[in-house]
């Protein structure tokens, strides 16, 4: 595991522990074993993905048919929290995510696990009459990030395994495998600079439990991130390679375009705007708000041209469990520097096609952990 680097913002009395991207990790006696295991995990995920990206997609009666669905933005909102203790991958749809605008000083793996317990107002994405259900949707994500040789391009890759289960809506249960690859320009002297990126994010949808592959989609995204950091007096934080320790307020946006290839059809393209904001309240408490907006145009299929507008405001308040409660800093690090997130989010979709409009609320708690090695 990498060494934890301590920095403080004395003017505000808020001390943050920065593990996002700074400091070259020291040699750990089991680092090579963990790294080898992580590489095996990623390779296995890619092999599974290659096997599943085939022309033949089985049919399914699953009510959540994957045209909508997935909690990509919700999970990224949780992993974008301004928590400098729990490591997260430098790959996120929100520009205010920790370390997103910073170089990767050394090749590093990051493992995150999320355990949500949520109330879901409409797990079937119905226009009306949807079930109200309790939801458990754990995620495990292993990622890797490194600079591309001596260039300002940071490359990253990840493999996520996700599952959604419902108490009162078993027909909506679904599983996902979601790898990703991303290349992003990083200004090594200013982590608040404009930061263009290119990413490829496929997703394979399954009936439980990873049984019947009924849909596959492949997203190609191009966009740009921009963030504005402020201290506790609301003064702009000066440009620096790592301004995390001085930042209390952070505002940012990610804007981009997407082409989605999907089997079964329809394919689509989209314009995406993801504004976000975060606030460091204290060492243990922080809060964030994000509001992704997606305008999607589906290819014409059987004479039908679907147009969707999706709005996903999400608020998250996070409590980082103190290391003293877990037996000290080292014990907390081995336990993944856990945090508890209080989440409330709305997904509202408008469409020109009858039956494709829906609203869905998710409210609950998420237990978050992360390790870097």
Instruction: Give the up-direction half-sphere exposure of residue 86: CA atoms within 13 A in the CB hemisphere.
Output: 31
Identify whether 209 is preceded by a cis peptide bond (ω within 30 of 0).
yes
Q: Are 133 and 166 in contact (CB under 8 A)?
A: yes
Handedness of CA 117, 120, 123, 129 (dihedral sign): positive
Q: Are 187 and 195 in contact (CB under 8 A)?
A: yes
DSSP state for residue 355 in the 8-state scheme: T
* Beta-ladder partners of 7: 16
Q: Are 162 and 154 in contact (CB under 8 A)?
A: no
The reported pLDDT for the residue numbered 6 is 39
Identify whether 279 is preceded by a cis peptide bond (ω within 30 of 0).
no
Distance of alpha carbon 37 from the chain centroid: 22
Task: Give the whole-angstrom CA distance, residue 176 versus residue 164.
Answer: 9
Q: Which three-class secondary structure state does DSSP give residue 83? A: coil
Q: Pick from 125, 135, 108, 136: which is nearest to 35 by CA?
A: 108
The reported pLDDT for the residue numbered 70 is 64
The reported pLDDT for the residue numbered 355 is 84
Low-confidence ranges of the chain (pLDDT < 50): 1-10, 16-27, 29-31, 33-35, 37, 43, 46-66
Q: Are 360 and 120 in contact (CB under 8 A)?
A: yes
Domains, the chain, in order of start with CATH, read 5-372 (2.40.160.40)
Residue 102, number of CB atoms within 10 A of its CB: 24
DSSP string, 43-81: HHHHHHHHHH-SS-------SS-SSS---HHHHHHHHTS
The reported pLDDT for the residue numbered 356 is 87
The reported pLDDT for the residue numbered 69 is 56
**Both tokens of residue 305?**
């041209």
Maximum Cα–Cα distance across the chain: 63
């Amino acid at each position: 595991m990498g060494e934890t680097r301590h920095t403080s913002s004395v003017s505000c009395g808020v001390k943050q522990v920065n593990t996002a991207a700074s400091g070259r990790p020291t040699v750990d006696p089991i680092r090579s074993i963990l790294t080898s295991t992580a590489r095996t995990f990623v390779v296995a995920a890619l092999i599974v993905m290659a096997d599943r990206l085939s022309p033949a997609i089985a049919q399914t009666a699953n009510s959540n048919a994957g045209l909508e669905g997935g909690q990509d933005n919700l999970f990224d909102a949780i992993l974008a929290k301004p928590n400098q203790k729990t490591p997260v991958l430098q790959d996120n749809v929100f520009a205010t995510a920790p370390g997103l605008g910073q170089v990767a000083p050394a090749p590093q793996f990051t493992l995150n696990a999320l355990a949500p317990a949520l109330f879901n107002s409409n797990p079937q994405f119905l226009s009306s009459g949807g079930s109200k259900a309790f939801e458990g949707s754990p995620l495990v994500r292993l990622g890797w990030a490194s600079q591309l040789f001596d260039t300002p391009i940071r490359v990253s890759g990840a493999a996520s395994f996700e599952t959604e289960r419902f108490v009162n809506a078993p027909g909506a249960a679904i599983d996902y495998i979601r790898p990703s690859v991303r290349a992003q320009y990083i200004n090594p002297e200013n982590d608040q600079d404009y930061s263009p990126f290119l990413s490829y994010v496929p997703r394979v949808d399954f009936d439980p439990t990873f049984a019947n592959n009924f849909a596959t989609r492949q997203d190609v995204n191009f966009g740009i991130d921009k963030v504005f950091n402020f201290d506790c007096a609301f003064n702009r934080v000066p440009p620096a390679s790592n301004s995390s320790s001085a930042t209390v307020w952070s505002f940012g946006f990610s804007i981009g375009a997407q082409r989605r290839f999907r089997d079964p059809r329809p394919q689509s393209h989209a314009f995406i705007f993801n504004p976000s904001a975060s606030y460091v309240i204290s060492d243990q408490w922080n809060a964030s708000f994000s509001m992704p907006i997606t305008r999607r145009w589906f290819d014409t299929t059987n004479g039908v041209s679907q147009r969707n507008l999706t709005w996903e405001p999400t608020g998250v308040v996070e409590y980082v469990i103190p290391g003293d409660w877990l037996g000290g800093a080292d014990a907390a690090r081995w336990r993944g520097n856990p945090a508890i997130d209080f989440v409330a989010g709305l997904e509202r979709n408008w469409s020109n096609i009858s039956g494709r409009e829906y609203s869905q609320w998710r409210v609950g708690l998420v237990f978050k952990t992360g390790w870097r090695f």
